[in-house]
Amino acid sequence: MTTMAKYLFVGLALCIILVGCTGETEAPPAPELIRSPAAEIDTATITRGPLVGLERRTGVTRYLSEPLYFDRPVAGFGEFHVVPGESVTEGQLLVTLDTELIDEQIEEQMRRIANMRRDHALANDIRQLDIDIMVLEHANRVNQVTYYLDQDAAEALEAQSLNIDRARLELRQQRDRHAVELRQAETRLEDLRTRRQRAELRAPYDGQITNMRDFVHGQHISVAQPLLYITDASRVVIEAVNKPFLQDWPQPGPGGMPPDPWRPNTIRRALYTIAYIDGEIFEVEYISVSLEERPFRPVRFEILSDNPPPAGKYVSIHFYTHHIEDALLIPDNAIFFAGAQPYVYLVINGDLIYTEIRLEGRTSIMGAVSIGLEEGDLVLVR
């Protein structure tokens, strides 16, 4: 480095030192504050208002009272015997589905059963004839043994006795097997005849047909579609559609089948029930049936109105299970349980405080608190 460069470097260093000593320096950034864990969590504010719990179901007036069940669709089209506006009586034939396939299966099954009976009888008769011949031969050999006192004939006689007993046992087993096969074939025939009978839709009540789906010749008719709606002769009622709401089946019903989701728990817990029909609100009342009738009767509600709407309308029914006019409301996801004791985590100054509460009511969204919290409190939500 030359002498001039050294002087320049030293001068620059002195200037930097003088500036640093006489000028104001910029302060380093402050360290980031350590935030409380409660500042990172979600909270909710306790509010005041009404608590309303309801369960909504969708129904249709005069759905099929007894749905038709088939292993697979058999109806390419149906023949209708009534039209909207006509009056019908209970049991009157309304619709006949195409049953050509079932009729063919019934005839084939009847021929199969007749052939089975004939073949089984022939096989059993032949087997019985063989046994009869063996018995005659055995009797003849008994006479020979008695007359000649032949030891070899005596041993053959004993062996033949065992063969006769074995043949009789086999014949008995064969007859039992044939009887089981015949019962199975007859059960299948009975099932086919039942399906044939159910292919005829008949009116479940006396009344007037007010609505019917439009079908054209050759169109497939599903066994689950509502074909028509009927009113009682004296009043308009709502007949509920039994749709498979799996979440409403806490346990199987009789015979392992899921219970009807309409009854009885939701209706028992309901404070009151209303129906929405074409935007209007109507009070409805459950038409109760006996426990024995429930598997066979549709779920029905009477419209409590002097001017009910005409039948054939789609209906939404609301079951009100909770109704509190003024309550401290807490989100359901803020409620914890220690056994049967509900509690929350109250958030105060960033701290989580375990707080036991008392619930007066609870829905899937909100709960009503009577003891333990006040309006405006902050609570932890999950």
Supply angle C-alpha 133, 135, 137, rounded to 5.
70
Q: Same structural domain for residues 73 and 214? A: yes
Would you state the pLDDT for residue 89?
Answer: 82
Average pLDDT of span 11-30: 50
Residues 380 and 352 in one domain: yes
> What is the value of pTM for the model shown?
0.43
Shared-domain flag, residues 83 and 210:
yes
Rounded to whole angstroms, the Cα distance separating 247 from 266 reads 13
The answer on 186 and 208 residing in a single domain is no
Q: Is the pLDDT of residue 246 over 60?
A: no
Task: Give the model's pLDDT for residue 201.
Answer: 76
pLDDT of 232 reads 65
One domain, residues 76 and 221: yes
Contacts of 99 (CB under 8 A, 6+ apart): 74, 75, 196, 199
Q: Which of 248-252, 305-309, 349-353 has the lowest mean pLDDT?
A: 248-252
Clarify whether residues 361 and 219 are in a common domain: no
Residue type at 50? P
Average pLDDT over residues 313-336: 86
Asked if residue 17 belongs to a domain, the reply is no
Q: Is the pLDDT of residue 6 over 70?
A: no
Which is more confidently placed, 377 or 10?
Answer: 377
291 and 253: one domain?
yes
Residue 4 lies in a domain: no
In a domain, 256, yes or no: yes
Per DSSP bridges, beta strands 336-338 and 78-80 are unpaired
Residue-wise pLDDT for 281-313, tens only, equals 999 888 887 777 766 666 778 888 888 877 666
**CA dihedral angle for residue 254, residue 256, residue 262, residue 264, rounded to 10 degrees:** 40
> In terms of residues, how long is the chain?
382
pLDDT for position 31: 44
Query: How does DSSP classify residue 246?
Result: G
If pLDDT is split at 50, 70 and 90, which confidence band does 119 have? Answer: very high
Least confident of 26-35, 334-343, 352-361: 26-35
Does residue 144 lie in a domain region? yes
The b-or-e profile of 195-220 (16+ CB within 10 A means b, else e) is bbebbebbbbbbbbbbbbeeeeeeee
Specify the amino acid at residue 206: D
Give the model confidence (pLDDT) of 138-185 as tens digits. Answer: 887 777 666 666 666 677 777 888 888 888 899 999 999 999 999 999
Residue 24 domain-assigned?
no
Identify whether 142 is part of a domain. yes
| Cis before 31? omega within 30 | no
Same domain, 43 and 154: no
Q: Domain containing 241 — which CATH number?
A: 2.40.420.20
List the structure tokens of 285.
């009342």
* Cβ-contact 302, 284 below 8 angstroms: yes
Any domain includes 343: yes
| Range(s) of the domain holding residue 352 | 36-61+236-382
With cut-offs at 50, 70 and 90, classify the pLDDT of residue 109: very high
Q: Which of 33, 23, 46 is nearest to 380 (CA)?
A: 46
For 55-64, the pLDDT digits (tens) are 777 655 444 4
In this structure, the answer to whether residues 302 and 189 fall within a common structural domain is no
Same domain flag for 309 and 364: yes
Asked if 127 and 167 count as a contact pair (C-beta separation under 8 A), the reply is yes
pLDDT beyond 90 at 118: yes
For the chain, the average pLDDT equals 75
Cβ contacts of 156 within 8 Å, gap of 6 or more? 141
- 244 CB-contact burial (10 Å; exposed 0-12 / middle 13-18 / buried 19+): exposed
Percentage of residues of the chain with pLDDT beyond 70: 65
Residue 133 included in any domain: yes
Shared-domain flag, residues 249 and 335: yes
> Per the structure, how many domains does the chain have?
3
Q: Does residue 118 share a domain with residue 210? A: no
